[in-house]
């Protein structure tokens, strides 16, 4: 297979409200795409294909056929083949995988990948119903009612606690950590939120329980945003005299799809998602603790804890203990609330994750790889993971229905 490299990346500020700016998803796609092309210092005419990850622009914005916005990024892209990928919250990661497969298979030497979602277009109730399309809507809507996803993941949290005897304190620590990380990220949605551990741990008027044991602070945000990547082949780099050792390369990836309904899955083990992770590690010939940084899909705090175990960072039932140890926090955000008892460190969601950075659904999987690119290129600023050479991203859609794991590395 032809090696796949990241030549450039870009993203938008996730704190913005595009509707208030008088802009649409067209603007999100074009803005991120232009930033990635500029970062790659590539002539747009050299890009041979593009993939656009998006979950539900048809309902959120009344707009689909999103690949047709790619030529508006730059006239040089007019006429190239484009595809739109959709797998709920894993839509963005699917677009990255598609672009990588085009290059690995020798079909193209330069590919643009964009993930985008505009969600701040309707009430929270209506938006929650649109998000419900990522679940088994006609079966689970009657059971869970409005705001299906907080309730689905509240159910996962209950199952986890009952199986392992876990305290909700572990969920609090994940939320606190990711808000603290977001304060180090100038483009994070919650960068200005000063969330204390005590506030996150208590139910209050401002932090109500939404799906016990989950509170508002345990939930990712409704977000407008986009992210983009320029992926290239080794052949492209040789042609242009670019040193491949200076760029992140895709070392391995895995993709797996479970049943749609939560009741058909083996929560909280999620063995199908583990298959995706196993494939990625096997292809890369690496182990979980070889990673220097990880981006996981923390749509809710419990998801991050499950992801620790899915990815092999912790044994079954030990994800909560790992969270509370402080091992997954950047050193600068650890405090007296963590045990400090860990035999390895691996910062998780250094940019804030979905809880702190934001969750523009179709963009999230691409944004995770943008974060990997910034960390591996040592361009992450205050949140930089020292000595990062191997980086793992884990994006999932639905109630851990579609799982995508990718490992990126730099020599």
The string of DSSP codes covering 83-142 is EEE-BTBTHHHHHHHHHHHHHHTTS-SEEEEEEEEE-TTS-HHHHHHHHGGGS-HHHHHH
Q: How far apart are CA 181 and CA 329, in angstroms?
A: 8
Q: Alpha helices of 196-348 — where are they, by DSSP H?
A: 197-201, 234-239, 271-284, 301-310, 319-325
Catalytically annotated residue among 89, 219, 299, 306: 89
* Ranges of each domain in the chain: 4-122+222-246
Confidence of residue 340 (pLDDT cuts 50, 70, 90): confident
Catalytically annotated residue among 84, 108, 359, 373: 359
Domain spanning 4-122+222-246: CATH superfamily:
Thiolase/Chalcone synthase (3.40.47.10)
Q: How far apart are CA 311 and CA 359, in angstroms?
A: 21
Confidence of residue 404 (pLDDT cuts 50, 70, 90): very high
Q: Give the per-residue pLDDT at 332.
A: 87
Per DSSP, 330 falls in state -
Contact 4, 250 (CB under 8 A): yes
Q: Give the per-residue pLDDT at 341.
A: 83
Of 31, 226, 45, 43, nearest to 119 (Cα)? 226
Is 181 one of the catalytic residues?
no
Confidence of residue 343 (pLDDT cuts 50, 70, 90): confident
Q: CB neighbours (10 Å) of residue 43?
A: 11
Exposure letters 208-230 (e unless 16+ CB within 10 A, then b): eebbebbbbbbbbbbbbbbbbbb
Q: Give the per-residue pLDDT at 153.
A: 98
Per-residue pLDDT tens over the stretch 237-282: 999 999 999 999 999 999 999 999 999 999 999 999 999 999 999 9
Per-residue pLDDT tens over the stretch 151-199: 999 999 999 999 999 999 999 999 999 999 999 999 999 999 999 999 9
Give burial (CB, 10 Å; 0-12/13-18/19+) of 22.
exposed
Is 90 exceeded by the pLDDT of residue 339? no
Is 219 one of the catalytic residues?
no
Contact 119, 265 (CB under 8 A): no
Confidence of residue 65 (pLDDT cuts 50, 70, 90): very high
Q: How far apart are CA 227 and CA 10, in angstroms?
A: 6
Average of per-residue pLDDT values in the chain: 97
Q: How far apart are CA 181 and CA 201, in angstroms?
A: 18
Q: Give the per-residue pLDDT at 411.
A: 86
Of 100, 92, 93, nearest to 251 (Cα)? 100
Is 90 exceeded by the pLDDT of residue 98? yes
């Amino acid at each position: 297979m032809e090696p796949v490299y990241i030549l450039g990346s870009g993203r938008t500020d996730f704190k913005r409200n595009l509707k208030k700016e008088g802009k649409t998803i067209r603007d999100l796609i074009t803005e991120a795409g232009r930033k990635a092309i500029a970062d790659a210092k590539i002539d747009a005419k050299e890009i041979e294909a593009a993939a656009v990850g998006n979950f539900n622009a048809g309902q959120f914005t009344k707009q689909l056929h999103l690949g047709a916005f790619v030529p508006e990024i730059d006239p040089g892209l007019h006429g190239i083949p484009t595809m739109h990928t959709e797998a709920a919250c894993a839509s963005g990661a699917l677009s990255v995988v598609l672009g990588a497969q085009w290059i690995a298979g020798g079909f193209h030497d330069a590919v643009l990948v964009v993930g985008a979602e505009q969600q701040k277009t309707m009430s929270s109730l209506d938006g929650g119903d649109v998000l419900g399309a990522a679940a088994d809507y006609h079966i689970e809507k009657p059971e869970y009612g409005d705001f299906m996803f907080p309730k689905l993941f509240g159910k996962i949290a209950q199952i986890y606690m009952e199986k392992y005897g876990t305290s909700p304190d572990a969920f609090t620590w994940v939320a606190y950590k990711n808000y603290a990380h977001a304060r180090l990220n100038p483009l994070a949605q919650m960068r200005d939120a000063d969330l204390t551990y005590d506030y996150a741990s208590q139910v209050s008027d401002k932090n109500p329980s939404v799906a016990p044991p989950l509170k508002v602070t345990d939930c990712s945000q409704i977000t407008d945003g986009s992210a983009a990547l320029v992926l290239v082949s080794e052949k492209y780099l040789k042609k242009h005299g670019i040193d491949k050792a200076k760029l992140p390369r895709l070392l391995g990836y895995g993709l797996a799809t479970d049943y749609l309904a939560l009741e058909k899955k083996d929560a909280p083990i999620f063995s199908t998602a583990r298959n995706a992770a196993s494939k990625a590690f096997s292809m890369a010939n690496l182990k979980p603790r070889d990673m220097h940084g990880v981006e996981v899909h923390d749509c809710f705090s419990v998801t991050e804890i499950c992801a620790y175990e899915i990815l092999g960072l912790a044994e079954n039932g030990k994800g909560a203990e790992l969270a509370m140890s402080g091992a997954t926090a950047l050193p600068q955000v650890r405090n007296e609330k963590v045990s400090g008892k860990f035999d390895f460190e691996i910062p998780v969601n250094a940019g804030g994750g979905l809880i702190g950075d934001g969750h523009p659904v179709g963009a999230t999987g691409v944004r995770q790889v943008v974060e990997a690119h910034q960390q591996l290129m040592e361009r992450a600023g205050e949140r930089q993971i020292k000595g990062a050479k191997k980086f793992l991203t884990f994006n999932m859609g639905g109630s851990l229905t579609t799982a995508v794991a990718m490992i990126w590395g730099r020599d």
